[in-house]
A = this chain, B = another copy of it.
Protein backbone atom coordinates (compact mmCIF):
# COMPACT_ATOMS: atom_id res chain seq x y z
CA UNK A 1 0.00 0.00 0.00
CA UNK A 2 2.81 2.39 0.90
CA UNK A 3 4.40 2.06 -2.54
CA UNK A 4 1.53 4.04 -4.02
CA UNK A 5 2.53 6.98 -1.82
CA UNK A 6 6.17 7.23 -2.92
CA UNK A 7 7.37 10.07 -5.19
CA UNK A 8 10.46 10.09 -7.35
CA UNK A 9 12.79 13.08 -7.42
CA UNK A 10 13.86 13.84 -10.97
CA UNK A 11 15.80 17.07 -10.71
CA UNK A 12 16.81 19.77 -8.24
CA UNK A 13 18.32 23.23 -8.41
CA UNK A 14 19.35 25.81 -5.85
CA UNK A 15 17.39 29.04 -6.21
CA UNK A 16 18.80 31.00 -3.26
CA UNK A 17 21.83 30.65 -0.96
CA UNK A 18 22.02 32.24 2.48
CA UNK A 19 24.51 31.95 5.35
CA UNK A 20 22.24 29.48 7.18
CA UNK A 21 20.52 27.46 4.46
CA UNK A 22 20.08 26.89 0.74
CA UNK A 23 16.67 27.08 -0.87
CA UNK A 24 16.15 24.45 -3.54
CA UNK A 25 13.45 23.54 -6.03
CA UNK A 26 12.88 19.83 -6.53
CA UNK A 27 11.05 18.46 -9.51
CA UNK A 28 9.19 15.33 -8.38
CA UNK A 29 7.02 12.72 -10.08
CA UNK A 30 3.93 11.49 -8.22
CA UNK A 31 2.86 7.86 -7.79
CA UNK A 32 0.49 8.33 -10.74
CA UNK A 33 2.93 10.28 -12.93
CA UNK A 34 2.09 13.91 -12.26
CA UNK A 35 5.10 16.25 -12.11
CA UNK A 36 5.25 18.94 -9.43
CA UNK A 37 7.88 21.32 -8.07
CA UNK A 38 8.54 21.53 -4.31
CA UNK A 39 10.58 24.08 -2.39
CA UNK A 40 12.96 22.68 0.22
CA UNK A 41 15.58 24.10 2.61
CA UNK A 42 18.92 22.35 2.93
CA UNK A 43 20.90 23.12 6.07
CA UNK A 44 23.17 21.48 8.67
CA UNK A 45 21.90 19.15 11.36
CA UNK A 46 21.08 20.47 14.82
CA UNK A 47 21.37 19.16 18.37
CA UNK A 48 19.05 20.01 21.28
CA UNK A 49 20.01 19.14 24.86
CA UNK A 50 17.87 18.67 27.96
CA UNK A 51 20.26 19.47 30.83
CA UNK A 52 18.75 17.89 33.95
CA UNK A 53 19.99 19.15 37.30
CA UNK A 54 19.18 17.47 40.62
CA UNK A 55 18.70 20.16 43.26
CA UNK A 56 17.45 20.27 46.85
CA UNK A 57 14.16 21.66 45.57
CA UNK A 58 13.76 18.92 42.94
CA UNK A 59 14.67 18.31 39.32
CA UNK A 60 15.41 21.44 37.30
CA UNK A 61 16.25 22.02 33.65
CA UNK A 62 19.04 24.38 32.67
CA UNK A 63 17.43 26.69 30.12
CA UNK A 64 18.70 29.58 28.03
CA UNK A 65 16.85 32.81 27.42
CA UNK A 66 17.75 34.55 24.18
CA UNK A 67 16.40 36.84 21.47
CA UNK A 68 15.12 34.99 18.43
CA UNK A 69 15.22 36.96 15.19
CA UNK A 70 12.55 34.88 13.43
CA UNK A 71 10.00 35.29 16.22
CA UNK A 72 11.22 38.82 17.12
CA UNK A 73 10.91 37.98 20.82
CA UNK A 74 12.70 36.40 23.78
CA UNK A 75 12.47 32.64 24.00
CA UNK A 76 13.27 30.36 26.95
CA UNK A 77 14.71 27.15 25.52
CA UNK A 78 16.87 24.13 26.02
CA UNK A 79 20.39 24.78 24.77
CA UNK A 80 21.25 23.61 21.28
CA UNK A 81 22.54 24.59 17.91
CA UNK A 82 24.01 23.68 14.58
CA UNK A 83 26.66 20.99 14.08
CA UNK A 84 30.10 22.37 13.33
CA UNK A 85 32.44 20.74 10.80
CA UNK A 86 32.33 16.95 11.06
CA UNK A 87 31.45 16.58 14.74
CA UNK A 88 28.99 13.81 15.58
CA UNK A 89 25.62 14.52 17.17
CA UNK A 90 26.70 13.87 20.79
CA UNK A 91 29.80 16.05 20.38
CA UNK A 92 27.65 18.86 18.99
CA UNK A 93 25.23 18.50 21.91
CA UNK A 94 27.97 18.59 24.55
CA UNK A 95 29.68 21.55 22.86
CA UNK A 96 26.46 23.56 22.64
CA UNK A 97 25.65 22.76 26.27
CA UNK A 98 29.10 23.92 27.37
CA UNK A 99 29.19 27.05 25.21
CA UNK A 100 25.67 28.28 25.99
CA UNK A 101 25.35 27.33 29.66
CA UNK A 102 28.88 26.60 30.91
CA UNK A 103 27.83 23.14 32.08
CA UNK A 104 29.75 19.95 31.32
CA UNK A 105 27.83 16.66 31.48
CA UNK A 106 29.08 13.42 33.04
CA UNK A 107 26.32 11.43 31.35
CA UNK A 108 24.67 11.85 27.96
CA UNK A 109 21.76 9.79 26.58
CA UNK A 110 20.40 10.02 23.03
CA UNK A 111 16.60 10.32 23.16
CA UNK A 112 15.82 10.32 19.44
CA UNK A 113 16.02 12.25 16.20
CA UNK A 114 13.54 13.86 13.86
CA UNK A 115 13.31 15.95 10.77
CA UNK A 116 12.35 19.43 12.10
CA UNK A 117 9.81 19.77 9.29
CA UNK A 118 9.90 17.01 6.69
CA UNK A 119 7.65 18.94 4.30
CA UNK A 120 10.18 21.72 3.68
CA UNK A 121 13.47 20.77 5.34
CA UNK A 122 16.01 18.02 4.65
CA UNK A 123 18.05 18.06 7.87
CA UNK A 124 17.87 16.21 11.17
CA UNK A 125 17.51 17.46 14.75
CA UNK A 126 19.02 15.17 17.41
CA UNK A 127 17.81 15.19 21.03
CA UNK A 128 19.91 14.36 24.09
CA UNK A 129 19.44 14.15 27.83
CA UNK A 130 22.49 15.44 29.75
CA UNK A 131 22.94 14.57 33.44
CA UNK A 132 25.63 14.72 36.14
CA UNK A 133 26.20 18.38 35.31
CA UNK A 134 29.23 20.35 36.48
CA UNK A 135 29.16 24.14 36.25
CA UNK A 136 31.84 26.04 34.31
CA UNK A 137 31.65 29.26 32.31
CA UNK A 138 29.89 30.15 29.06
CA UNK A 139 31.78 30.55 25.76
CA UNK A 140 29.40 32.60 23.63
CA UNK A 141 29.77 33.64 19.99
CA UNK A 142 30.12 37.39 19.63
CA UNK A 143 26.50 37.81 18.54
CA UNK A 144 25.09 35.56 21.30
CA UNK A 145 23.48 37.10 24.39
CA UNK A 146 22.27 34.24 26.52
CA UNK A 147 20.88 34.24 30.06
CA UNK A 148 21.07 30.88 31.83
CA UNK A 149 18.01 30.06 33.96
CA UNK A 150 17.33 26.93 36.02
CA UNK A 151 13.64 26.08 35.90
CA UNK A 152 11.71 23.31 37.75
CA UNK A 153 10.92 20.65 35.14
CA UNK A 154 7.15 20.80 35.75
CA UNK A 155 7.18 24.54 35.05
CA UNK A 156 8.71 23.93 31.63
CA UNK A 157 6.36 21.04 30.86
CA UNK A 158 3.14 22.81 31.82
CA UNK A 159 4.37 26.08 30.30
CA UNK A 160 4.70 24.59 26.81
CA UNK A 161 2.67 26.33 24.13
CA UNK A 162 2.71 29.69 25.94
CA UNK A 163 5.39 32.44 26.23
CA UNK A 164 8.25 32.26 27.11
CA UNK A 165 8.24 28.61 25.93
CA UNK A 166 7.57 29.55 22.31
CA UNK A 167 9.98 27.15 20.56
CA UNK A 168 8.06 24.13 19.23
CA UNK A 169 11.09 21.82 19.36
CA UNK A 170 11.22 22.23 23.15
CA UNK A 171 7.89 20.39 23.17
CA UNK A 172 9.45 17.61 21.10
CA UNK A 173 12.28 17.39 23.64
CA UNK A 174 9.82 17.21 26.55
CA UNK A 175 7.84 14.39 24.91
CA UNK A 176 11.05 12.35 24.53
CA UNK A 177 12.07 13.15 28.12
CA UNK A 178 8.74 11.97 29.50
CA UNK A 179 8.83 8.80 27.39
CA UNK A 180 12.33 8.06 28.69
CA UNK A 181 11.96 8.97 32.38
CA UNK A 182 8.23 8.46 32.91
CA UNK A 183 8.12 11.00 35.74
CA UNK A 184 5.01 11.27 37.88
CA UNK A 185 2.88 14.01 36.31
CA UNK A 186 1.79 16.50 38.98
| Known interface pairs A175-B174, A178-B175; A15-B15 also in contact (CB < 8 Å) | no
Q: How far is the CA of A39 from the CA of B68 in the complex (A)?
A: 11
Q: How far is the CA of A70 from the CA of B23 in the complex (A)?
A: 11
Contact residues in B for A28 (Cβ distance below 8 Å):
69
Interface string of A61-73 (1 = CB under 8 A from B): 0000111111111
Q: How far is the CA of A119 from the CA of B117 in the complex (A)?
A: 14
User: Do residues B185 and A178 form an inter-chain contact, with CB atoms below 8 A?
Assistant: yes
Q: How far is the CA of A25 from the CA of B15 in the complex (A)?
A: 16
CB nearest neighbor in B for A145: B5
- Sorting the interface of chain A by its residue count into under 10, 10 to 19, 20 to 34 or 35 or more gives 35 or more
Give, as a whole number of angstroms, the nearest-CB distance from A30 to chain B: 6
| Known interface pairs A23-B18, A175-B174; A71-B167 also in contact (CB < 8 Å) | no
* Cross-chain pairs A/B with CB under 8 angstroms, 30 sampled: A5-B74, A6-B74, A7-B67, A15-B18, A19-B39, A20-B120, A26-B69, A30-B145, A38-B70, A69-B120, A70-B115, A70-B120, A72-B122, A111-B161, A112-B161, A113-B161, A114-B165, A114-B167, A114-B171, A115-B168, A116-B116, A116-B168, A117-B117, A118-B166, A127-B161, A158-B179, A168-B169, A174-B175, A175-B178, A182-B185
